[in-house]
């Protein structure tokens, strides 16, 4: 039994939810998102909570049961509060700046890297060594942060590169004479 799937998802205040077959739609102050659940689970809206149940006891249906409930909870949180991911840049001469809607990164290459901001994502640079990626779709925010980090990931000897703010770099000892 899925312990996560058993819990009903409470619809937060300020968010309107509707269930149309397998499609769950959420409208909130930040925007509108939807999730289409798999055919192996049933989704019902009962007195301001969304209940997800597997249609049969197969391993596949039970796996999709907990995942569907978590995805519905994520769209509710996204339209109410939104998501954000913070990145830090470490290294001499490494910096970030906004160029219109695009992110310009100086990461030690012969040229600056220009990252095109996708639709529905907001990128802010409060300091030249800090990037804040925010939006309502959790998956999209994480994907954009991962793409920016991929340009120059943190290296283990000096810790230079782009890393998540909460990430801890395991440092290695350098060569001995």
Q: Are the C-beta atoms of 33 and 137 separated by less than 8 Å?
A: yes
Asked if 19 and 35 touch (Cβ cutoff 8 Å), the reply is no
pLDDT digits (tens, 9 = 90+) for 28-43: 999 999 999 999 999 9
Residue 2's pLDDT is 60
Report all structural domains of the chain as residue ranges with CATH numbers, in order of start.
Answer: 3-80 (3.90.930.12), 83-164 (3.90.930.12)
Mind listing the pLDDT tens digit for each residue in 136-155? 999 999 999 999 999 999 99
**How far apart are alpha carbons 113 and 161 in whole angstroms?**
13
- Is the separation of the CB atoms in 53 and 42 below 8 Å? yes
pLDDT of residue 5: 81
Q: What share of the chain in percent tops pLDDT 70? A: 99
């Amino acid at each position: 039994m899925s312990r996560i799937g058993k819990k009903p998802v409470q619809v937060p205040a300020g968010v309107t939810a509707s269930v149309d077959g397998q499609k769950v739609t959420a409208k909130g102050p930040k925007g509108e998102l939807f999730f289409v659940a798999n055919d192996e689970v049933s989704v019902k809206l009962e007195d301001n909570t969304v209940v997800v149940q597997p249609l049969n006891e197969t391993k596949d249906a039970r796996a999709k049961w907990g995942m569907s409930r978590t995805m519905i909870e994520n769209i509710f949180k996204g339209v109410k509060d939104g998501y954000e991911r913070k990145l830090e840049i470490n290294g001499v001469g490494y910096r970030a700046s906004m160029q219109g809607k695009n992110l310009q990164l100086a990461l030690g290459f012969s040229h600056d890297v220009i990252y095109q901001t996708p639709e529905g994502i907001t990128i802010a640079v409060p300091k030249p060594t800090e990037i804040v990626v925010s939006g309502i779709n959790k998956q999209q925010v994480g994907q954009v942060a991962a793409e920016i980090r991929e340009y120059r990931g943190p290296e283990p000897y000096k810790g230079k590169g782009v890393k998540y703010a909460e990430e801890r770099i395991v440092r290695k000892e350098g060569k001995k004479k």
